[in-house]
C-alpha cells in the first residue's frame, strides 16, 4: 500500500507517482498512463511544457478510476506567466478536469510574482487545489516565499543520493513545504547505480538498485515519480512498499551526498533559453 503525505495546506498527496516528461502526445502516452493506473499509480506528473496534457486527461477519462482518486500535477511555463489566468483555463480544458490537484510554476524566470498571484486566485476560485514551484533556488526562492500569501505546498527540484538538498530541506521546514524529486535516480549515472552500498541492500532485500533508491526517497519524505515507458519497469518501480530500509542504512545513504547536481544552468542561461520558448496549446 503506497504512502500519502499531508501538505501544508491540508491536502493529501500520493507520495509516489509517474513522471511524464518526454512522453509524446498521442496513444503512446495514453497507453502508458492506462497501464500505470492499472498497476496502482495514483499520481501523474505532467506539464504544459511536456505537451502531453491532452493525452493524460484522455487516459484518465477512459479509465474506470474516479478522477477524485487520481492526483494530477501540472506546471505553467514562463511564457504562460503574464497571462496565467487564461493559461490555467486552457490547462483545465486540456486535462479535461474542473480542478487541478497541484499546479507549479515550472521555472524561476519571467514574471513569476504575477503568476503566483494568479495561482493563489485559482486556489480561492476552486480551480486548483494546491500550488507550488519547480526549479527555484537562491535569491528567487527566498523572494517567492517572502512574497507569497499562500506558501508553496511543494517544490520540485533535482534530488537524489548524490544531491540530497539538505540545505533546502532546512529552509523549507518552517513552511512545511515538501520536496518533489526529479532525476530521482541521478539521471541514470552509472557511478550512482553501481554504488556498493546499493548493491548490498539490493541483494539483502531481493530488490533492484533502482528500487532501493526509490525506497530511500520514500523514507526521507520526498515525493517521487520516476519515468518509465515499459510495463515491466512501471511494475518494478511501484513495488517498493513491501520492505523498509533500516535507520543505519538510511544513514549510510546520507553519507553519499556530494551536493552534485546534473543540472547546472545559470540564471542568465535559464532566462535566455526558457523565456524564448513558446508553447502550443
The residue ranges of every structural domain in the chain are 7-274
The answer to whether the predicted template modeling score (pTM) of the entire model surpasses 0.85 is yes
SS3 at position 117: helix
Sign of CA dihedral 239, 241, 245, 247: positive
Question: Taking Cα atoms as reference points, which of 1, 38, 37 lies closest to residue 239?
Answer: 1
Pairwise CA distance, residues 79 & 82, whole Å: 7
Pairwise CA distance, residues 21 & 27, whole Å: 15
pLDDT at 277: 85
Q: How confident is the model at residue 64 (pLDDT cuts 50, 70, 90)?
A: confident
From start to end of 106-230, where are the E strands?
128-134, 154-158, 178-182, 223-224
Pairwise CA distance, residues 165 & 258, whole Å: 10
Active-site amino acid positions? 50
The phi and psi torsions of 166 (rounded to 5 degrees) equal -65, -45
Is pLDDT above 90 for 2?
Answer: no
Is pLDDT above 70 for 25?
Answer: yes
pLDDT at 24: 84
In contact, 21 and 52? CB cutoff 8 Å: no
pLDDT at 278: 82
Pairing of strands 12-14, 4-6: antiparallel
Pairwise CA distance, residues 181 & 217, whole Å: 8
Is pLDDT above 70 for 1?
Answer: no
Residue-wise pLDDT tens digits, 223-258: 999 999 999 999 999 999 999 999 999 999 999 999
pLDDT at 21: 94
Write the CA distances from 234 to 33, 141, 179, 237, integer angstroms.
10, 33, 22, 5
- Is 106 one of the annotated binding-site residues? yes
Query: CB neighbours of 174 closer than 8 A, spacing ≥ 6?
Result: none
Pairwise CA distance, residues 190 & 17, whole Å: 24
Question: Chain-wide mean pLDDT for the chain?
Answer: 96
Is pLDDT above 90 for 161?
Answer: yes
Mean pLDDT of 251-267: 95
What architecture (CATH level 2) is domain 7-274? Answer: Alpha-Beta Barrel (3.20)
Is pLDDT above 80 for 145?
Answer: yes
Amino acid at each position: 500500500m503506497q504512502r500519502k503525505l499531508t501538505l501544508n495546506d491540508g491536502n493529501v498527496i500520493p507520495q509516489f507517482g509517474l513522471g511524464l516528461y518526454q512522453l509524446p502526445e498521442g496513444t503512446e502516452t495514453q497507453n502508458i498512463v492506462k497501464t500505470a493506473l492499472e498497476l496502482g499509480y495514483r499520481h501523474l506528473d505532467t506539464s504544459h511544457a511536456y505537451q502531453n496534457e491532452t493525452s493524460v486527461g484522455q487516459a484518465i477519462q477512459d479509465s474506470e478510476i474516479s478522477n477524485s482518486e487520481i492526483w494530477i500535477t501540472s506546471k505553467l511555463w514562463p511564457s504562460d506567466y503574464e497571462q496565467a489566468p487564461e493559461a490555467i483555463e486552457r490547462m483545465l480544458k486540456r486535462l479535461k478536469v474542473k480542478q487541478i490537484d497541484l499546479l507549479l510554476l515550472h521555472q524561476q524566470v519571467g514574471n513569476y510574482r504575477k503568476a503566483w498571484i494568479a495561482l493563489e486566485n485559482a486556489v480561492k476560485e476552486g480551480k486548483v487545489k494546491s500550488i507550488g514551484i519547480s526549479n527555484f533556488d537562491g535569491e528567487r526562492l527566498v523572494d517567492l516565499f517572502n512574497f507569497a500569501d499562500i506558501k508553496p505546498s511543494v517544490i520540485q527540484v533535482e534530488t537524489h543520493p548524490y544531491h540530497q538538498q539538505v540545505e533546502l530541506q532546512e529552509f523549507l521546514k518552517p513552511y512545511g513545504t515538501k520536496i518533489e524529486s526529479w532525476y530521482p535516480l541521478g539521471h541514470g549515472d552509472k557511478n550512482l547505480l553501481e554504488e556498493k552500498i546499493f548493491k548490498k541492500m539490493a541483494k539483502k532485500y531481493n530488490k533492484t538498485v533502482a528500487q532501493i533508491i526509490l525506497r530511500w526517497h520514500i523514507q526521507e519524505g520526498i515525493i517521487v515519480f520516476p519515468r518509465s515507458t515499459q510495463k515491466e519497469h512501471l511494475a518494478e518501480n511501484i513495488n517498493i512498499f513491501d520492505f523498509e530500509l533500516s535507520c543505519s542504512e538510511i544513514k549510510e545513504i546520507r553519507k553519499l551526498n556530494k551536493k552534485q547536481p546534473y543540472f547546472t544552468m545559470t540564471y542568465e542561461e535559464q532566462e535566455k533559453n526558457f523565456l524564448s520558448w513558446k508553447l502550443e496549446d
